Chains A and B, each alone.
Chain A
Amino acid sequence: MPEIFELEFMQRAFAAGLLISVIVPLIGVFLVVRRYALMADTLAHVSLLGVAVGILTNSHPVVSATVASAVAAVAIERLRGIKSLFAESVLAIFLSGSLAVAVVIISLAGGLNVDLLSYLFGSISTISPTDLYMLTAVSVAVVLAITLLYKEFFLVSFDEEFAEAGGVKARNLNLLIVVLAAVTIALSMRIVGILLIGALMVIPVVSAKQFSLSFRNTIFLSIAFSFVSVASGLILSYYLDLASGGTVVLVALFIFLLAFIIKRPE
């Protein structure tokens, strides 16, 4: 067995990588098709605020990041319903607002340290068994929710008004999708990092979309692209001693470029 698979922390990294390569694009596809891709980046920045609070208060940063991100997701979704506030403006307020609070808290906690940097850019050596258990539980929840409510999520993403006219509770489904996105982002930041998780949620989906497939097959292809990006990104980052998050996203970008060249956009 190659050395990379014998190390315990790499086994955890691959297990976590496999899980996020499935759930991140699974949620991401519903954000991308609704032109809500910035949501992923916004929730990642809110996660940073949660991490900063976790470090300052000596609590588990992943837990505080998950809570902060989920609360922000609910607030954003509620504010999006107010027509006088544009949806993109709401995202911008949360993105920069949470970053501002996080920066202040970080300075109170004595500035950037190695732990915080590992959350910002991803560090495969820091994934603890607890992180992996939490990620497994969330992955099961995400896959179950999307499988059981697939037809509702598709309908609401394609035509919210039509869904509501038929009596489908679009608002509740929207809320569920953004909360799942928030929790997924907070738990995936160990691998890809807060600053790059948004990219993994969006790039494989956009790459898959170039192939003009059905919605279902676009999801499967997004997961395949995401899996290849995470697996090869982790291997490359290990052997070349590179930051895991950056390497994973660079592979995802390379796949996007190939897809873009092979399938010219309409």
Chain B
Amino acid sequence: MTKKNCIEVMEVSMSFNGTTVLENITFSVEEGEYLGIIGPNGGGKTTLFKIILGLMSPTGGEVRIYGEPVQRFRKRHIIGYVPQRAISEIYFPATVEEVVRSGRTARMGLLKMFSRADREAVEKAMDITEVAAFRGKLIGHLSSGERQRVFIARALASEPRILILDEPDVGVDVTSQEKFYSFIEDLNSKFGITVLLISHDIDVVAHQVKSVLCLNKRLVCHGSPKKFISEEYMQELYGKKVKFILHGH
């Protein structure tokens, strides 16, 4: 059985003040895929995510979610978003539970009170991410690894079918990172959630994801991790000869 495309990026271009950030990007993501997006700083990765999420309108082309243009796509809550982390959240007076519950807001809709189903979804998200034990703690009192899990719990609270993570491993120590990626893999394999992930860690991307998309303003390659490790692509991506060494896991 062929899988359905959940995201279609069609000839998307983006420029700011005359500077091109993305050039004619076309690819699609099938349901259940685990896609790693990699590329140099300024290569347009975060911009691409923001266009997929409907936070920015591209200067050319369009993005479709389940066949509908993203700007008109009403069930936006089925996309769970884990943004790049901001320092400001550390000082915000909010508990873990309050933050995770806020992930349910978009799905519930205006003027709706928390129903039993909503509360159960929030509990499930906290259980899966193992943050329920410190639900009463302030978000600013957590370690960076714990805080990262809370943001994933918030994204999962809306019971998404697609999870989009923008550099979720920044500031997370190596041990937590390994646990974190095996957890993301579980979300993909056990719960069938489509995962799109930006990471700077090429090693992680090569080992964890099912397919890789290399981006440097334009699409350099899109395929299996094995294909991407070839020197040819690395050189095109980072502009110099880079030897890629795989670490055993």
Contacts and interface: CB of A to CB of B under 8 A. Distances in A.
Partners in one complex: yes
Interface of A: 33, 35, 148-149, 151-152, 154-155, 157-159, 161-168, 209, 212-216, 218, 266
B94 interface: yes
Contacts of B103: 162
B166 to A, nearest CB: 10
Nearest to B107: A166
B55 A218 contact: no
B77 A215 contact: no
A36 to B, nearest CB: 12
A213 B136 CA distance: 9
A158 B76 contact: no
Interface stretch (B28-36, B85-93, B126-134, B201-209): B85-93
Contacts of A213: 93
A167 B99 CA distance: 17
17 contacts: A35-B88, A149-B110, A154-B98, A154-B102, A155-B102, A158-B94, A162-B81, A162-B103, A163-B105, A165-B81, A166-B107, A167-B54, A167-B106, A212-B93, A212-B138, A214-B97, A215-B92
A215 B95 contact: yes
A151 B102 contact: yes
A253 to B, nearest CB: 20
B101 interface: yes
A215 B74 contact: no
A152 B110 contact: yes
Nearest to A208: B93
B108 interface: yes
Contacts of A154: 94, 98, 102, 105
A100 B75 CA distance: 48
B13 interface: no
Contacts of A151: 101-102, 105, 108
Interface in B23-68: 53-55
Contacts of B105: 151-152, 154-155, 163, 166, 168
A151 to B, nearest CB: 5
B158 interface: yes
Contact of A215 (B93, B108, B136): B93
Given A149-B110, A151-B102, A151-B108, A161 B77 contact: no
Given A166-B76, A209-B93, A158 B102 contact: yes
Interface residues of B, number: 35
B174 interface: no
Given A154-B98, A159-B89, 11 more contacts: A157-B92, A161-B83, A162-B154, A165-B83, A167-B76, A168-B106, A209-B93, A212-B93, A212-B141, A213-B93, A214-B95
Interface in B142-200: 154, 158
Contacts of B102: 151, 154-155, 158-159
Nearest to B102: A155
A35 B90 CA distance: 13
B1 interface: no
Instruction: Give me the 7 closest cross-chain CB pairs, A-B, nearest first.
Output: A166-B106, A167-B76, A165-B81, A165-B53, A214-B95, A155-B102, A218-B93
A155 B94 CA distance: 11
A149 B98 CA distance: 15
A152 B111 CA distance: 9
Given A148-B111, A151-B102, A216-B98, A165 B79 contact: yes
A215 B158 CA distance: 21
A158 B89 contact: yes
B98 A214 contact: yes
Contacts of B81: 162, 165-166
A216 B101 CA distance: 13
B93 A166 contact: no
A35 B89 CA distance: 11
B92 A33 contact: yes
A167 B55 CA distance: 9
Nearest to A218: B93
B39 to A, nearest CB: 21
A169 to B, nearest CB: 9
Nearest to A154: B102
Contacts of A149: 110-111
Nearest to A265: B91
A149 B110 CA distance: 7
Nearest to A148: B111
A147 B249 CA distance: 51
A216 to B, nearest CB: 7
A155 B136 CA distance: 18
A105 to B, nearest CB: 39
Contacts of B77: 166-167
Nearest to B99: A158
B55 A161 contact: yes
